[in-house]
């Protein structure tokens, strides 16, 4: 289904879509307040953008440096061309350790590779330990937001899920009570897992270490109790030096949730005695995106989710309407790069208001890239109703007399035509909106009368 069709489904529950819109706006508002409390905010964004430009221009060298230093730290490093290779590498590590149950902290990359269903098909129990991710996992759903995976669910929904899965009291919606129940449930899973999987927020080329950011400490709990840590990392997550973290960590938490800092920023450099760390470095279309001059900037993304929280389309249509692992404005740039046919409606899921670009902590020109994708997509579509009407409009706008006459005709027609014609199936714009009342005078007439 295309984005508009799925968005229509979401909008059927108007109370829910209103609540979703307001909840995300609240997060956006927090981001605004906290970013304004830092006088150097814009310099930080500029610096982050330049560091990422440098990374993308020299990605091959930074990756080689990272590999060399990680190996020197006794980390096993694996390269995966695509999701298939990535998943098989992870599985082979689990098989070497005869591991049948793993705990996993939040990782969009493993969602991208559909790692959970792959491991489950191969007899491995996967437990997502981020609370929001565990909730959607109980429902067999993917996350609907990259930072707030269960943002589409209300307390009442979660209470019902926990009653069914964790036998909590029926109807008890108290967040503290529900969180305690989840904690008891997850602790048992942590204690039983030999292998823990995490994502990676930043890989430092200079030292070969990597940093994982969580608010719940679940990545640390999993990793410290397990014998083996598998870190799944996209190749674009490299930063050159450790001191660059000072820029990105300040931007990330503030942009994501309006917090001054993420609760746990854990550095992993080398394994403890008798333990193992593996990093699986994944390409999966990233080098191809790097080769697309107009879209390569999208690889600067640090997955803060701010562009989603601010986007009027995302807020009103929900994460699932995008049908892709990374939804919202940045997902609408990345997903067509992976499968243009499947995701061709996504670049149109935007008002092009530019709010996404304004909040992006690494200054990605998101709305401009969405516009570029639209041009790429429509270029190959040939003649259709929209292109014909645009050609007609172009002809009318180019000739003042034609513009004047057609304007007068349309204003007159709109007054007398019945709704069955004005709002017929051809007027898709009018499906959700009323046409404005026609003005009594044109701007030119008004100007002539009032300019003195
Ligand atoms: S594109 Fe920018 S705002 Fe959107 S998730 Fe990525 S870093 Fe955040």
* pLDDT of 172 higher than 80: yes
Q: Is 166 helix (H, G, I), strand (E, B) or coil?
A: helix
| CA 301 – ligand 1 centroid, Å | 5
Instruction: Report residue 31 CA to chain centroid gap.
Output: 16
Going by C-alpha positions, the residue among 158, 204, 150 that lies closest to residue 177 is: 158
* pLDDT of 435 higher than 90: no
Q: Please choose from 305, 328, 334 the residue to mutate so as to test ligand 1's pocket, defined by most ligand atoms within 8 A of CB.
A: 305
| CA 151 – ligand 1 centroid, Å | 17
| CA 406 – ligand 1 centroid, Å | 44
DSSP sequence for 267-335 = EE-SPPTT-EEEEEEE-TTHHHHHT-TTTGGGGG-----HHHHH-HHHHHH-GGGG-SSS-HHHHHHHH
| CA 361 – ligand 1 centroid, Å | 7
| CA 227 – ligand 1 centroid, Å | 34
Inter-residue contact 249 to 213 (CB < 8 Å): yes
DSSP H/E element including 428: none
Of how many residues is the chain composed?
452
| CA 428 – ligand 1 centroid, Å | 31
> What are the φ/ψ torsions at residue 153 (nearest 5 degrees)?
-105, 150
Beta-carbon contacts of residue 187 (< 8 Å; ≥ 6 apart): none
| CA 237 – ligand 1 centroid, Å | 13
Overall pTM surpassing 0.75 (yes/no):
yes
* pLDDT of 428 higher than 90: no
Question: Which tokens go with 348?
Answer: 């149109």
Taking the CA of residue 329 as reference, the ligand 1 atom at the shortest distance is 4
Name the band, by pLDDT with cuts 50, 70 and 90, for residue 382: confident
Taking the CA of residue 328 as reference, the ligand 1 atom at the shortest distance is 4
* pLDDT of 177 higher than 90: yes
What distance in Å separates the CA atoms of residue 343 and residue 205, rounded to the nearest whole number?
33
* pLDDT of 31 higher than 90: yes
Number of H helices, E strands in the chain: 22, 10
| CA 101 – ligand 1 centroid, Å | 33
**287: number of Cβ within 10 Å:** 15
Taking the CA of residue 302 as reference, the ligand 1 atom at the shortest distance is 7
- What's the angle, vertex CA 341, arms to CA 340 and CA 347, rounded to 5? 55
Inter-residue contact 259 to 57 (CB < 8 Å): no
What distance in Å separates the CA atoms of residue 228 and residue 237, rounded to the nearest whole number?
22
For ligand 1, atom 3, name the residue with the nearest CA.
360
Mean pLDDT of 139-156: 94
Q: What are the tens digits of pLDDT across the range 34-64? A: 999 999 999 999 999 999 999 999 999 999 9
* pLDDT of 432 higher than 80: no
Question: Which tokens go with 107?
Answer: 């990782």
Taking the CA of residue 330 as reference, the ligand 1 atom at the shortest distance is 1
What distance in Å separates the CA atoms of residue 164 and residue 135, rounded to the nearest whole number?
12
Taking the CA of residue 146 as reference, the ligand 1 atom at the shortest distance is 5
| CA 369 – ligand 1 centroid, Å | 13
| CA 402 – ligand 1 centroid, Å | 45
As for ligand 1, residues whose beta carbon falls within 6 Å of it are: 255, 301-307, 330, 359-362, 364, 366
Going by C-alpha positions, the residue among 305, 298, 312 that lies closest to residue 262 is: 305
DSSP H/E element including 164: helix 155-166
Beta bridge partners of 276: 228
What is the overall mean pLDDT for the chain? 95
For ligand 1, atom 6, name the residue with the nearest CA.
301
> Residue 87: its pLDDT value, please?
98
> Residue 380: its pLDDT value, please?
72
Taking the CA of residue 306 as reference, the ligand 1 atom at the shortest distance is 3
| CA 236 – ligand 1 centroid, Å | 14
Taking the CA of residue 326 as reference, the ligand 1 atom at the shortest distance is 5
Name the band, by pLDDT with cuts 50, 70 and 90, for residue 429: confident
Mean pLDDT of 235-264: 97
Taking the CA of residue 304 as reference, the ligand 1 atom at the shortest distance is 8
What distance in Å separates the CA atoms of residue 304 and residue 201, rounded to the nearest whole number?
10
> Residue 248: its pLDDT value, please?
98
Q: Please choose from 55, 366, 368, 370 the residue to mutate so as to test ligand 1's pocket, defined by most ligand atoms within 8 A of CB.
A: 366
Inter-residue contact 199 to 90 (CB < 8 Å): no
């Amino acid at each position: 289904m295309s984005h508009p069709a799925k968005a229509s489904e979401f909008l059927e529950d108007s109370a829910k879509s209103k609540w979703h819109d307001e909840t995300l706006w609240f997060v956006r508002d927090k981001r605004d307040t906290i970013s304004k409390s830092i006088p150097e905010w814009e310099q930080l964004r500029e610096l982050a953008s330049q560091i990422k430009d440098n990374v993308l221009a020299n990605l091959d060298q930074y990756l080689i440096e990272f590999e060399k230093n990680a190996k020197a730290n006794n980390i096993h490093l694996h390269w995966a061309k695509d999701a298939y290779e990535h998943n098989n590498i992870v599985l082979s590590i689990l098989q070497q350790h005869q591991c049948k149950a793993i705990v996993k902290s939040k990782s969009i990359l493993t969602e991208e590779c559909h790692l959970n269903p792959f491991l489950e098909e191969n007899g491995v129990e996967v437990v997502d330990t981020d609370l929001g991710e565990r909730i959607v996992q109980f429902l067999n759903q993917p996350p609907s937001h990259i930072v707030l995976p269960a943002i589409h669910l209300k307390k009442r929904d979660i209470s019902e899920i926990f009653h069914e899965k964790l036998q909590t009291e029926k109807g008890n919606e108290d967040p503290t009570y529900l969180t305690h129940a989840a904690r008891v449930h997850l602790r048992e899973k942590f204690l039983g897992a030999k292998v823990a999987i995490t994502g990676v927020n930043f890989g430092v080329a200079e030292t070969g270490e990597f940093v994982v950011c969580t608010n719940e400490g679940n990545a640390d709990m999993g990793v410290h109790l397990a014998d083996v840590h598998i870190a799944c990392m996209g190749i674009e997550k490299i930063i050159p030096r450790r001191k660059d973290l000072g820029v990105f960590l300040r931007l990330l938490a503030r942009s994501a949730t309006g917090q001054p800092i993420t609760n746990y920023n854990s550095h992993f450099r080398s394994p403890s005695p008798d333990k193992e760390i593996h990093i699986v470095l994944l390409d999966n279309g990233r080098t191809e995106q790097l080769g697309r001059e107009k879209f390569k900037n999208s690889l600067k993304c640090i997955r803060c989710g701010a562009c989603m929280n601010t986007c009027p389309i995302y807020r009103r249509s929900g994460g699932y309407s995008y049908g892709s692992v990374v939804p919202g404005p940045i997902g609408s740039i990345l997903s067509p790069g992976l499968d243009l046919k499947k995701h061709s409606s996504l670049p149109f899921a935007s008002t092009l208001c530019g709010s996404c670009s304004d909040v992006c902590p690494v200054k990605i020109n998101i709305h401009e890239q969405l516009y570029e994708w639209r041009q790429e997509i429509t270029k190959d579509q040939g003649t259709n109703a929209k292109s014909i009407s645009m050609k007609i409009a172009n002809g009318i706008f180019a000739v003042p007399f034609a513009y004047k006459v057609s304007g007068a005709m349309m204003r007159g027609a709109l007054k007398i035509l019945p709704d069955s014609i004005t709002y017929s199936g051809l007027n898709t714009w009018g499906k959700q909106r009323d046409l404005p009342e026609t003005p009594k005078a044109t701007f030119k007439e008004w100007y002539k009368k009032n300019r003195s």
